[in-house]
Amino acid sequence: MSEHRTGGGDPAHTLRLLWRQTDGPRRGPRQGRSLDEIVTVAIELADTEGLESVTMRALAQAVGVAPMTLYTYVPGKAELLDLMLDLIYTNMERPDRSGEPWQTRVAAVAADNRSLFTAHPWAAEVATGRPPLGPGQMTKYEYELRAFDGTGLDDVTRDAALTYVLDFVRAAARSSAEARSAQQESAWTDEQWWTANAPLLAQVLDERRFPTAVRVGAAAGAAQNAAYNPDQAYEFGLARILDGLTTLITATLDGTAPT
């Protein structure tokens, strides 16, 4: 997967676009589309054809405007990418979970982000070291931080805990996307691939040379019906993350956590 990143455009211009701040009345012909409409079309294009397909020329064609007209809305793809992410963040559902245990709230945050990456697979490809600090991003951050209310974590640790969860979900989403891509490209299911290659694998995978790998691999493959099962990997990983956070939070509330 190619690497895309947020924060690649002019910061001041990008922030004004994200927060829909203008520099006053615009000169020239009246724009026929809103910025939200332009960004929505870009998201749809990325959802169906991938992020690489979202060029300014392709977007202009999809919107039905001349390429130069598109630049009156957004100066380039770097700023457009920030707008796209912020809009999908804005559209995430955020039910009130304030009365639920923190484990349930954190698991829900993970599930919400997994659903986001399922609906918009391209979003998992984007590096967000410089997050688009628009209204969608800030609302998402505010909501997700509150999943740790009542845990006793200080602000820095709360931010780190959330990052820990979100990084896991992003990695899981990318692995799942890679598995889907491999299956689509080969036109075989994992089960069909293993069945077709079983005779050769039986010859080269010597149990005497690789006793642990062969035994564990066979057991895992039989249990998952594949070498890799994205759903099982996600559920196992999330449970371990919650286990680790439980240890940290219990120690924090007991006053025994290291400082």
Contact 87, 39 (CB under 8 A): yes
- Could you count the other beta carbons within 10 Å of the beta carbon of residue 241? 19
State whether 78 and 118 are in the same domain.
no
Residue 257: the pLDDT is 86
The model's confidence at residue 30, banded by pLDDT at 50, 70 and 90, is low
Please report which helix (H) or strand (E) contains residue 4, including its range: strand 4-5
Q: Is residue 95 part of a domain?
A: no
The model's confidence at residue 65, banded by pLDDT at 50, 70 and 90, is very high
% of the chain surpassing 70 pLDDT:
95
State whether 74 and 110 are in the same domain.
no
State whether 86 and 41 are in the same domain.
yes
Residue 1: the pLDDT is 44
Q: Is residue 96 part of a domain?
A: no
| Residue 195 reports pLDDT greater than 80 | no
| Residue 68 reports pLDDT greater than 80 | yes
- Which residues, including other chains, have CB under 8 Å from residue 225's CB and lie 6 or more apart? 190, 191
Q: Is residue 188 part of a domain?
A: yes
Of 41, 64, 90, the one marking the end of a domain is 90
Number of compact structural domains in the chain:
2
State whether 86 and 146 are in the same domain.
no
Q: Is residue 97 part of a domain?
A: no
Residue 251: the pLDDT is 97
| Residue 225 reports pLDDT greater than 80 | no
The model's confidence at residue 194, banded by pLDDT at 50, 70 and 90, is low
The model's confidence at residue 71, banded by pLDDT at 50, 70 and 90, is very high
Q: Give the structural domain span for 224.
A: 102-254
State whether 122 and 55 are in the same domain.
no
Give me the phi and psi of 104, to 5 degrees please: -65, -40
Query: Domain with 246 in it: what CATH number?
Result: 1.10.357.10
Residue 180: the pLDDT is 82
| Residue 136 reports pLDDT greater than 60 | yes
Contact 158, 149 (CB under 8 A): no
pTM score above 0.85? yes
> For 146-185, how does the pLDDT look when each residue is reduced to its tens digit (9 = 90+)?
999 999 999 999 999 999 999 999 999 999 998 888 777 7
Tell me 118's DSSP state.
H
State whether 113 and 192 are in the same domain.
yes
Alpha-carbon distance 5 to 3, whole Å? 7
